[in-house]
Amino acid sequence: MGPLRGASAALATVRITAIASLTPLEELEADPFLVDSRSQHAMCARWAAEQGLVVTRELLVGGLRFDHGALWDGVRPGVDVFVAPSRRVLERALSSVDEFTAECARRGVRVETVGSAEPAYDARMKARVHRRLSMPTAGYDGK
């Protein structure tokens, strides 16, 4: 898992799938970043933009098997790249990161991790995440 390299013409065809962890709200106090899937996806989108790319698909998963159809639906070798904020997120999102990365290698699909520092959450940020996740049907968008 390293930086994406290649000619800019090739990069134009790359499709980015951002993987975020589906972590229960009950874990907000102990590990807010793993609960805050919006920030995880935003981190992936920033990484893609730095590469001159755009996230084309967002996945929010928890303990998903490496061979699950939701991961591989329409994925093409040499075109698709999976990106996650960190290995830690992948460890929560997938049942086995090693099996997933091996399957990606077998299929010719890249896996990248952003590697940026996770945001530091204060009480206000945690409250925003809590409101957004506990009131989704009320139309609250987390702002």
Sorted by where each begins, the domain ranges of the chain are 11-132
Looking at the predicted structure, is the pLDDT value of residue 136 above 80?
no
SS3 assignment, position 75 = coil
Structure tokens at 45: 């989108």
Structure tokens at 35: 């609960």
Structure tokens at 85: 């904020």
pLDDT band at residue 29 under the 50/70/90 scheme: very high
Single pTM value for the model: 0.84
Looking at the predicted structure, is the pLDDT value of residue 78 above 50?
yes
| CATH of the structural domain 11-132, one choice from 2.70.98, 3.10.450, 3.40.50, 1.10.287 | 3.40.50
CA atoms 133, 134, 137, 142: torsion sign: negative
Q: How many Å apart are CA 34 and CA 87, to the nearest integer?
A: 12
In eight-state DSSP terms, residue 116 is P
Among 4-13, 20-29, 51-60, 93-102, the range scoring the smallest mean pLDDT is 4-13
User: What pLDDT digit, counting tens, does each position of 92-125 carry?
Assistant: 999 999 999 999 999 999 999 998 899 999 999 9
